[in-house]
Amino acid sequence: MLFLGRCNQLLQQLTVAATIGFRFYSSDLEFEIKKITKIINDHPFPDQPIHPKLSQIIPSTTISTSFVENVLGHLFASHSNGLKAFEFFKFSLQFSQFCPTSDAFEKTLHILTRMRNFNKAWELIEEIHKTHPSLLTLKSMSIMLSIIAKFQSFEETLEAFQKMEDKFSDHKQFGTEEFNLLLRAFCTQRQMKEAKSVFNKLYSRFSPTTKTMNILLLGFKESGDVTSVELFYHEMIQRGFKPNIVTYNIIIDSYCKRGRFLDGLKLLEEIEQANYLPTLKTLTTLIHGAGIAHNTTYAQQLLDEIMPGVYDRFNKDLSNGIRAVDAGERKIAIEQQQQQQSMWIQQQAKT
């Protein structure tokens, strides 16, 4: 027993020592990453080559996937010169123990495109296409396209899309997902004329889905153009697309933000007729719309008659294995939510 007790004591001491050691190691590593980031930021590149300096301050044993990702993360957060981040990434590729990841590549790409150095961004894509083509994903494509659409012309954005088809799809033609990314790039910048032009031009080539139509619908909504939302919704129906709950939520939000709460409420009936169930977003959007329209009666009705059922469904949809909230707790939570919403509605009515 004495022996076992002593072993247990030693084990505890070793555990404590290992924990303390890890903390020191983590702290030291974080310090080194910050120091290297500062040296890179302060370096006079491109007036002087940066690789010799990197070789001097970074031991080869330090290079690892997590280390490179962390340095790039710090460079991204500090809005570093993209050329320096690109040089660091290329420097890291020289070491066999570094296997470039999507995270490292996307951060480097984002830093370059953020400073609008598209030539270097294409150079990076070309290099990755040759050595690690699996890293050319929809996310990296979205990073590139969205910033090109923001800062370059409509024609240049289409040219970039065509160029990506050669690099990102291994010489295969793009499909619906890539088409959606192109549309979203324009919609995010609220360039709806360009987005609709691309849609009309490439509609026959791709196979748009309801998701495609919702991207455009959301773009019109974010532009604050309710009329265009309505027109495109009707066009969507005429083209044979079936709206889903996302479609209805977008239109309801569009109506409510423009003070057309009753029009949004009518869509609630259409949702039920289409055999969809209103989501939590549907109801909170309508309640918010009722507040904007100073219609506290309808808002309270939504809270009293519909919201509890939505909360019940939400709890039932939780993953198996997660404990369902106790009925009493759920009732209290709903009551608290109702009180908060009622107070908010009253405040909205006063403004």
Q: Which of 117-126, 182-191, 262-271 has the lowest mean pLDDT?
A: 262-271
pLDDT score at 345: 45
Q: Which of 69-73, 210-214, 292-296, 310-314 has the lowest mean pLDDT?
A: 310-314
125-141 mean pLDDT: 93
pLDDT score at 311: 52
Both tokens of 3, joined, read 């022996």
| Residue 228, in any domain of the structure | no
On whether the CB atoms of residues 192 and 219 are closer than 8 A, the answer is yes
Mean pLDDT of the chain: 82
The 10 Å CB-count burial string (b at 16+, else e) for 174-188 is beeebbbbbbbbbbb
DSSP state of 49: -
pLDDT tens for residues 142-164? 999 999 999 999 999 999 999 99
pLDDT tens for residues 32-52? 899 999 999 999 999 999 999
| Residue 108, in any domain of the structure | yes
Residue where a domain stops, chosen among 104, 136, 168? 136
| Residue 295, in any domain of the structure | yes
On whether the CB atoms of residues 86 and 112 are closer than 8 A, the answer is yes
DSSP state letters, 251-285: HHHHHHHTT-HHHHHHHHHHHHHTTPPP-HHHHHH
Q: Of 74, 149, 134, 124, whose CA–CA distance to 101 is shortest?
A: 134
Query: Residue 18 — very low, low, confident or very high, per pLDDT cuts 50/70/90?
Result: very low
pLDDT(192) > 70? yes
Dihedral over Cα of 116, 121, 122, 123: its sign:
positive
| Residue 71, in any domain of the structure | yes
pLDDT score at 171: 62
| Residue 151, in any domain of the structure | no
| Residue 8, in any domain of the structure | no
pLDDT score at 37: 93
Number of domains in the chain: 2
| Residue 278, in any domain of the structure | yes
Query: Residue 349 — very low, low, confident or very high, per pLDDT cuts 50/70/90?
Result: very low
- Chain centroid to CA 281: 18
pLDDT score at 201: 93
293 vs 41, which has greater pLDDT? 41
On whether the CB atoms of residues 289 and 302 are closer than 8 A, the answer is no
d(CA 163, CA 151): 17
d(CA 237, CA 216): 14
Residue where a domain stops, chosen among 136, 165, 193? 136
| Residue 12, in any domain of the structure | no
Residue where a domain stops, chosen among 117, 136, 155? 136
Query: Residue 320 — very low, low, confident or very high, per pLDDT cuts 50/70/90?
Result: very low
Angle at which helices 226-238 and 245-257 cross, to 10° = 160
CA dihedral 307, 310, 311, 314 (to 10 degrees): -160
pLDDT(314) > 60? no
d(CA 105, CA 118): 15
- Chain centroid to CA 323: 29
d(CA 15, CA 193): 63
DSSP state letters, 188-226: HTT-HHHHHHHHHHHTTTS---HHHHHHHHHHHHHTT-H
pLDDT score at 344: 46
Task: Please give the model's pTM, rounded to 2 decimal places.
Answer: 0.76
64-75 mean pLDDT: 93
pLDDT tens for residues 81-115? 999 999 999 999 999 889 999 999 999 999 999 99
DSSP state of 241: P
pLDDT(316) > 80? no
pLDDT score at 295: 77
Which domain covers residue 266, as residue numbers? 244-319+326-351
pLDDT score at 3: 43
